[in-house]
């Protein structure tokens, strides 16, 4: 569609003026067609400034998701090489899980501009307002499907932490097992889910769901959640952050299959584990107790020491900083 091509051309020169004539020539259409496309893009909420007699400027804060813009920044071999973007969906994870995944390629990425029923662990809601976050699911077809799914969550956490640090210049901490924190508040949650094959009933696919708050944080979660914009003032970063998360994820995901490299991934994870050395409350099914966090083991279980000196490796449940 012409309007998408116009937006992409402006996105490539984000912040700078592009003349109507240049756009018309580049896209092989009339200036009137460009003008109409710009008008539609503006009514759709894109931050385009018309500079009279000069041209059009896409503001650096504009944050429209663009498949082409993301693809341009990818360095991956297979992760994100097939991307779909939906305007709104109940949940990108749920959507993918309901599809016939046998015909979807390994590394496929589904993105949504907003989610009506974004899901977190333990059936919780992941608040996903339109345009204010990155809501994406990566479909994986691991060769060794018997592997520990928790390790994929660890891979995603490491990739997101690195991507946020690279793109936003701020330290991104990890809370075991699936949360990324900035300055003590939740920035991102990861929900990794196994998908059963319709034919064999066995796990054949894994969906790694990632939700990152990038824009305005709704009032109801302001006490516990934050965003890239809130912490850094940076806006208009969704496309580049998505690409960087995918780039980092492919590296970490490939590395995690090599035993010696898995150790590096776990070390990085532990270096960002802000609860390490701290006292936490462990909430595991009906059990609740306090413990000191020692680190994580090779299976990404959390190692804690209970008040009576027992060392435990926790594989499920949640922890709360005291």
Which residues form the interface with ligand BTN (CB under 6 A)? 91-93, 115, 118-121, 124, 126, 135-137, 178, 189-191, 209-211
DSSP state, 229? H
Considering the complex, what minimum distance in angstroms separates the CB of residue 121 from ligand BTN?
4
Considering the complex, what minimum distance in angstroms separates the CB of residue 61 from ligand BTN?
23
Residue 6 and residue 41 in contact, taking contact as beta carbons nearer than 8 Å: yes
Calpha distance 293→278 (Å, rounded): 6
Half-sphere CA count of 181, side-chain side, radius 13 A: 16
Judged by beta carbon, residue 93 or residue 230, the one nearer ligand BTN is: 93
CA-CA-CA-CA dihedral for 307, 308, 313, 314, to nearest 10: -50
Longest Cα–Cα distance in the chain: 78
Calpha distance 177→199 (Å, rounded): 31
- Report the alpha-carbon angle 14-19-24, nearest 5: 105
Considering the complex, what minimum distance in angstroms separates the CB of residue 221 from ligand BTN?
11
Calpha distance 11→2 (Å, rounded): 14
Question: Which residue, judged by CB position, is nearest to ligand BTN in the bound state?
Answer: 189
Judged by beta carbon, residue 119 or residue 162, the one nearer ligand BTN is: 119
Judged by beta carbon, residue 92 or residue 227, the one nearer ligand BTN is: 92
Provide the terminal-to-terminal Cα distance of the chain, rounded to the nearest Å.
53
Considering the complex, what minimum distance in angstroms separates the CB of residue 174 from ligand BTN?
13
Considering the complex, what minimum distance in angstroms separates the CB of residue 110 from ligand BTN?
9
Look at residues 191, 188, 194, 282 and name the one whose alpha carbon lies nearest to residue 238: 188
Judged by beta carbon, residue 7 or residue 182, the one nearer ligand BTN is: 182
Judged by beta carbon, residue 39 or residue 124, the one nearer ligand BTN is: 124
Judged by beta carbon, residue 220 or residue 310, the one nearer ligand BTN is: 220
Considering the complex, what minimum distance in angstroms separates the CB of residue 261 from ligand BTN?
26
Considering the complex, what minimum distance in angstroms separates the CB of residue 98 from ligand BTN?
12
Judged by beta carbon, residue 56 or residue 108, the one nearer ligand BTN is: 108
CA-CA-CA-CA dihedral for 241, 242, 243, 245, to nearest 10: 80
């Amino acid at each position: 569609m012409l309007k998408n091509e116009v937006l992409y051309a402006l996105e490539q020169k984000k912040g700078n003026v592009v003349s109507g004539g240049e756009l018309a020539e580049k896209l092989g259409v009339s200036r009137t067609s460009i003008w109409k496309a710009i008008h539609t893009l503006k009514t759709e909420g894109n931050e385009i400034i018309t500079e009279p007699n000069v041209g059009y400027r896409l503001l650096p804060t504009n944050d429209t998701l663009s498949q082409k813009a993301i693809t341009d920044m990818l360095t991956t071999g297979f992760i994100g090489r097939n991307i779909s973007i939906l305007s709104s969906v109940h949940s990108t994870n749920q959507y993918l899980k309901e599809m016939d995944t046998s015909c979807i390629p390994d590394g496929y990425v589904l993105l949504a501009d907003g989610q009506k029923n974004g899901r977190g662990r333990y059936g919780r809601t992941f608040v996903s307002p339109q345009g204010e976050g990155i809501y994406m699911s990566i479909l994986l077809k691991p060769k060794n499907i018997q592997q520990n799914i928790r390790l994929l969550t660890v891979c995603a956490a490491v990739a997101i932490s690195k991507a946020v640090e690279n793109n936003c210049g701020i330290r991104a901490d990890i809370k075991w097992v699936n949360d990324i924190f900035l300055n003590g508040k939740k920035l991102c949650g990861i929900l990794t889910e196994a998908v059963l094959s319709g034919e064999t009933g066995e796990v054949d696919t894994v969906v790694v769901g990632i939700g990152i708050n990038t824009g305005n944080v709704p009032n109801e979660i302001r006490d516990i959640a934050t965003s890239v914009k809130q912490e850094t003032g940076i806006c208009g970063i969704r496309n580049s952050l998505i690409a960087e998360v995918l780039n980092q994820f492919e590296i970490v995901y490939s590395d995690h299959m090599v035993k010696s490299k898995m150790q590096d991934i776990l070390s990085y994870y532990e270096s960002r584990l802000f609860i390490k050395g701290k006292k936490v409350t462990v909430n595991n099914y009906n059990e609740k107790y306090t413990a000191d966090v020692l680190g994580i083991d090779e299976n990404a279980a959390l190692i804690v020491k209970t008040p009576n000196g027992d060392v435990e490796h926790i594989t499920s449940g949640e922890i709360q900083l005291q």
